[in-house]
Amino acid sequence: MTPSVPFATIEWLGDWRGCARIIDQTRLPGELVYIDIQSATEMCAAIRKLAVRGAPALGVAGGFGVVLGLRDAQSPDPSALLESLDRVARQVASARPTAVNLSWGVERVAAAVRRSAPLSVDGLIEGALAEAKSILEEDRAMCAAMGRIGGALVHEGGRFLTHCNAGALATGGMGTALSVFFSAHREGRKFRVFADETRPLLQGARLTAWELFHAGIDVTLITDSMAGHVMKSIGIDRIFVGADRIARNGDTANKIGTYSVAVLAKEHGVPFWVVAPSSTFDLRLQSGAEIEIEERDPSEVTEGFGSRTAPAGVKVFNPAFDVTPAPLIAGIVTERGLISPVSETEIRRVLAG
């Protein structure tokens, strides 16, 4: 738990024989319920159903997933454990495809295990847990740094808009896009935030509105289709969103609907900002065209949350993410500084710093 966040989205309990504890985000905002994850299979299921979600939190979940998978393997000796490592890493990394943080967290822990061989089985799993815990600690620090740096862009009396949930629930710390609001709020500034509800799974309504409202920040919930009207009629000074994967040219994958918000922002002259840690950049990719977009079950669109809203059997397209081209992005807040303008040269320069 961080001092600024009154709950722990994801943590580890005990030593390597313990378990991962997550908030079951499918139950919010109705109930704040924690679940204990005892195996890699349970972790993958929690990731798939979005009980744990948001790119940086998935990085931590991926790391803990590897620890659990190595423990599940019940290997008799270190070499058998190392043989199961690739299978475990593939299993956990493939739970969701778009957020690079998941495979990044998995690979980081797997690499630490490979580096530390030969040790006892217990020693290898303990080492994996230590690495996964450092991903969590670093994520907390990165969120705080993004909040400090990006908070300066949130001025007194300003009106801001965000899409999906990039808050404490999406990270191990105080969030990415929402960290800038938490930070400005802590410094005593007053401002308004418009939160897109974020169809079809309502991360904006269920999670962002919940986080900001309980923090005492002036938040107004709108449906996604109201964003253009709000920009035109009320006026928005700046938009902040998170990211699931950023290619080296700055093209950014984030929750479905983000691209539409960026296009509307351009039409209305509103600066569109992304807030993301270095772990969300995928410099192997030349552009956003190479980012795999997760497609999810049609029932999320036709009968989300149990109530049927479309004819049974109708064709559905349900991509969970879209890509906003770099030219629509005014800047990216990272824990290492601001990237603006967004170009490969600037990205490499700031990330190297």
Active-site annotation, residues: 244
Q: Out of 8, 24, 38, 50, which residue is the one contacting ligand MRU (CB under 6 A)?
A: 50
In whole angstroms, how close is the CB of 300 to ligand MRU at the nearest point?
Answer: 10
Beta strands, E only, 168-298: 192-196, 218-222, 238-241, 245-247, 252-255, 272-275, 281-282
Cα–Cα distance measured from residue 99 to residue 292, given in angstroms and rounded to the nearest whole number: 9
Q: Out of 171, 252, 279, 302, which residue is the one contacting ligand MRU (CB under 6 A)?
A: 171
50/117 with CB nearer ligand MRU: 50
SS3 230: helix
Count Cβ neighbours within 10 Å for each residue of 217-252 and write b for 16 or more, e otherwise: bebebbebebbbebbeeeebbbbbbbbbbbbbbbbb
Cα–Cα distance measured from residue 174 to residue 214, given in angstroms and rounded to the nearest whole number: 13
130/301 with CB nearer ligand MRU: 301
71/163 with CB nearer ligand MRU: 163
Q: Are 174 and 182 in contact (CB under 8 A)?
A: yes
Based on the shown chain and the rule CB under 6 A, indicate whether residue 291 belongs to the binding site for ligand MRU: no
Cα–Cα distance measured from residue 191 to residue 160, given in angstroms and rounded to the nearest whole number: 8
Query: And the tokens for 222?
Result: 């709108």
In whole angstroms, how close is the CB of 332 to ligand MRU at the nearest point?
Answer: 12
Cα of first residue to Cα of last residue in the chain, in angstroms, is: 28
Based on the shown chain and the rule CB under 6 A, indicate whether residue 254 belongs to the binding site for ligand MRU: yes
- Applying CB under 6 A, the span of 15-23, 54-62, 149-157, 298-306 interacting with ligand MRU comes to 54-62
Task: Report the side by side order of strands in the sheet with 34-37.
Answer: 10-13, 19-23, 34-37
In whole angstroms, how close is the CB of 325 to ligand MRU at the nearest point?
Answer: 17
Based on the shown chain and the rule CB under 6 A, indicate whether residue 173 belongs to the binding site for ligand MRU: no
**What x/- string results for residues 314 through 333 when contact with ligand MRU is judged by CB under 6 A?**
------x-------------
In whole angstroms, how close is the CB of 12 to ligand MRU at the nearest point?
Answer: 20
Residues found near ligand MRU in the complex (CB under 6 A):
50, 53-56, 99, 164, 166, 170-171, 176, 203, 242-244, 254-255, 320
